[in-house]
Structures are given as structure tokens and as C-alpha cells.
Amino acid sequence: MSDVTVAGSRRMGINWIGLGTIIRREWSRVWRVPIQAFLAPWISALMFIFIFGYVVGGNIRLIAGHRYVEFVLPGVLMLNVVNAAFLQSTSQIYFQRFLRYIEETLVAPLSYVEMIIGSLTMTIVRSVVTALGILLIGYAFGATQMYNIFEFLFWIVSVSIIFGLLGIIIALWANNFEQLTMLNVFFIAPLSFVGGVFNTVSMLPPFMRWIAYANPFFYFINGLRHSMIGFNEAPEGLGVAVTFGLIAVLGVATWRLFSIGYGLRE
């Protein structure tokens, strides 16, 4: 017999090597499609920033003392972070189910929490890489402000976790590619565009402002905008509360689905 019977050893109750392997595997999978994973969102952001921020924005007066390109950059950045997180999360779980290699992790000594954290870690990595690229593009167009880097990272990471968890739930539920894209088409894209990417809440007619306050995307974009240019339209602390609330609800729901094997086990 060889000396590998210690396989599955854990420290502090966690299979760290197993967790790291999930991340390594996903990193390898993402690097098979670098154009789709990174270049596409960067080019899309470049177009948004160039047209709306630079060309159109050049003819718009200052908003709350900031040039339009600086105002619009956090919104564009958040749109792409949300997309990157959701796509990463849905694709990794759905492809594992579709090609059945989810069974590799099901037969291994990995806990549900390790499987979820492994997926979310790679989701965060992809979102952060996407965000840093867009930040550089914004910098090239003169949007150089960074009000609070820690707050910036908080919003990128926490929004990635929210859409990472949402992506896992959708990927467990979906039985075809059509269903996989439904949430993005009918929920994420519309709500993110009306969440204040291009405008302030005060620009909306008064009767429509409650829609903005009821839209969670508004808090994500507003929070990121505050971290970058110091401009805030939401009540103090409400955005953070909404974010933690969503992470808690979606986290418990995802853990529950894994523990009953929904969409995973026969």
C-alpha cells in the first residue's frame, strides 16, 4: 500500500487542499475562455465610458461637483461586476451538472460549505480582476478618484458574493441554457440599468423615486459611487444592511439546497 491513506486530512475541520483544488480547477476553466471572461466586460465598459462618460458626458454639466465620466464610472463598473459574478457562478455549477463532473466533488470528502466557499472564492477573484481592469480604463479617461479603497473593496466583494450565491441557486434550478439566462434578462439587466448607473435619484420624477429606493441595485451602485467619489444618496448604513441581509438570506438558502442535494444528487 502507498502512503496516501491520510487523504482527506483537515485542519480546523476544513479540507483546505480540497477547497484550494476547487479554486484551481475553476481558475483553469476560466483561463480557457479569457476573451469571454475578461476581455468582453472590459471592451463593453470601454464603450460605455467612451460614449456615455466621455462623448455625451463632455456636454453635461457637473453632477454634485463631479465630471460625468467620474459619476458614471462606478455604475458601469458595478454592472460588469454583477455580470461577472453571476456568469462565473452559474457557469461553473451548471457545467459541472451538465457534464456530470459535479459527481467528482460529491464522492469526495468535501462539505457543502467547502463546495460553496470554493465556488464563491473564484467568483470573487473573477469580479475583482474585472473591476480592476475597468478601473484602469476609467483612469485612462481621467476618472482617477478613489475616496475610500476599503469601502470600494467591500462593495466589489460583497456584491460578488450576493450574485455568486444567486448564480449558484439559479444553476441548481436550471435544466437548460434558456433557464440559466432568464434571471439575467428579466431581473438583473433591467434593475441594474434603473438602479442609478447614469443618473441620480434626484433626477427622477418624485413619484418614481421610491422605485429607486426599493431597488437593491441602487444601494450597490450608490455604495460603490460613494467609495469612489464620495457622493451618497441613500440613508446612512441602509445599503450595508441591505447587502448583509441579502448575503445572509441567500447564503442560508444555498446551504440548504446543497444539504438536501437539490439539483446535485439523484
Write the single-letter amino acid at 142.
G
Provide the 10 A C-beta neighbour count for residue 137. 20
Closer to another protein at the Cβ: 23 or 204?
Answer: 23
Is residue 172 left, alpha or beta, with left meaning phi > 0 and alpha meaning psi from -120 to 50? alpha
Query: Under a CB-based contact definition with an 8 Å cutoff, are residues 159 and 243 in contact?
Result: yes
Q: Cα–Cα distances in Å, from 200 out to 78, 138, 205?
A: 15, 19, 11
* Residue 2 CB neighbours (<10 A): 4
- Does position 176 bind another protein by CB under 8 A? no
Interatomic CA distance for residues 102 and 251, integer angstroms: 20
Q: What are the angstrom distances between the C-alpha of 144 and each of 61, 232, 261?
A: 18, 18, 47
State in angstroms the smallest separation of the CB of 176 from another protein: 18
5 or 59: whose CB is closer to another protein? Answer: 5
Find all residues with CB under 8 Å of 28, minimum gap 6, and list them.
none
Segment lying near another protein (by CB under 8 A), choices 25-33, 75-83, 119-127, 191-199: 25-33
Q: CA-CA distance, 6 to 12, in Å (whole number)?
A: 16
Closer to another protein by Cβ: residue 111 or 145: 111
C-alpha cell at 117: 466557499
Nearer to another protein, 5 or 176 (CB): 5
Three-class DSSP category at 194: coil
Q: How far is the CB of 31 from another protein (least distance, A)?
A: 11
x/- mask, another protein, residues 101-140, rule CB under 8 A, reads xxxxxxxxxxx-----------------------------
**Contact call for residue 255 and another protein (CB under 8 A):** no
Q: Which residue, 50 or 95, has its beta carbon nearer to another protein?
A: 95
- Binding piece for another protein, criterion CB under 8 A, among 28-36, 68-76, 174-182, 246-254: 28-36
**Least spacing, CB of residue 169 vs another protein, in Å:** 18
Question: Applying CB under 8 A, which of residues 10, 145, 173, 194 lies at the interface with another protein?
Answer: 10
- CB of residue 147 vs another protein: minimum separation in angstroms? 41
Closest CA to 115 of 86, 85, 92: 92
Can you point out the beta strands (E) in the chain? none
Q: Establish if 1 lies at the interface with another protein (CB under 8 A).
A: yes
Contact between 140 and 46 (Cβ < 8 Å): no
The rounded distance, in Å, linking the Cα atoms of 238 and 218 is 11
Q: At its nearest, how many Å lie between another protein and the CB of residue 69?
A: 40
State in angstroms the smallest separation of the CB of 109 from another protein.
4
Q: What is the smallest separation between the CB atom of 7 and another protein, expressed in angstroms?
A: 4
Contact status: 35 vs another protein (CB under 8 A): no
Q: Which residues bind another protein (CB under 8 A)?
A: 1-10, 15-18, 20-22, 24-25, 28-29, 32, 95-96, 99-111, 260-261, 265-266
